[in-house]
Chain A
């Protein structure tokens, strides 16, 4: 196995854990607040999911820098100036900043969870895009559009769930 294979596997595992973690964090959260409160078991599930998310993030960042080292050591410096890589780095930075803002409660949950899910899926899609060229601004514009769609979709789901809760009480 080459270093490139090792990094690719680690990068994919990190992304899978992050995407899965972000998805299930939202599903578990919606299920947990369906009755208006988060009980201890639901809280434990959420904490475990957030831990998995963090592990995914660490693997993604470490393997990402592993690629950077590999490109540097193999004198493929030009690949570090790929606009797609910088778009992905921007999105990963957004995931980190968003996590801090959520921890500080400086961002509403509806927006924080939308940013988390959209960013993780965007990182996954960019990772599978291969070396086909993409401009930085196109990726960011598509990301913003996706964020609006995801936010609206999740908000609709929440409203539907809240309506159902009112009917059952």
Chain B
């Protein structure tokens, strides 16, 4: 693996984790009785940027290296389900993350005055942040499984 690819993989994992931590922080912040909107917006920005960075670096790694070098090894090994089930699932639901983070941030910016007072707005935002955290966590766990299946 070249240094650029190793760097892409490292950035993919670290920025993905950053995104999960940021959406988790936004989720917990939204659960408070009086959410601090400035703090939530900062977490929203971090989540969006992190997920976009993870998307791009993960995409680069997948297209340039995974498909031609890693995938055939996994498929030939005894954990072929790691690709046929896990990677196939991950590469679809992971696409939602930047979009969910973008929606969260846009609402936090455009409706900042209503979030603390309007439960009809706050509740869906809580679910949105929770969903982003859950999908991000699932993507991270699947990533560990997929990497563990690669036995060159």
A: residues with CB less than 8 A from B are 58, 61-62, 65, 68-69, 71-73, 75, 77-81, 89, 93, 96, 99-100, 103-104
Please count how many residues in chain B sit with their CB below 8 Å of the partner chain's CB atoms.
Answer: 25
Q: Does B131 contact A (CB under 8 A)?
A: no
Which residues does chain B contribute within 8 Å of A68, judged by CB atoms? Answer: 13, 143-144, 147
A77, B21: Cα distance in complex, Å: 25
CB distance from A93 to the nearest CB of B (A): 8
Is chain B's interface secondary structure helix, strand, loop, or mixed overall? helix
Which residues does chain A contribute within 8 Å of B13, judged by CB atoms? Answer: 65, 68-69
Which residues does chain B contribute within 8 Å of A71, judged by CB atoms? Answer: 147-148
A65, B140: Cα distance in complex, Å: 9
Q: Contact string, B7-25, partner A, CB cutoff 8 A, digits 1/0?
A: 0011001100100010010
Residue of A nearest to B143 (CB): A68
Which residues does chain B contribute within 8 Å of A93, judged by CB atoms? Answer: 137
CB distance from B51 to the nearest CB of A (A): 16
- What would 4 more interface pairs be, CB under 8 Å, given A71-B148, A100-B31? A72-B150, A78-B148, A100-B28, A104-B31
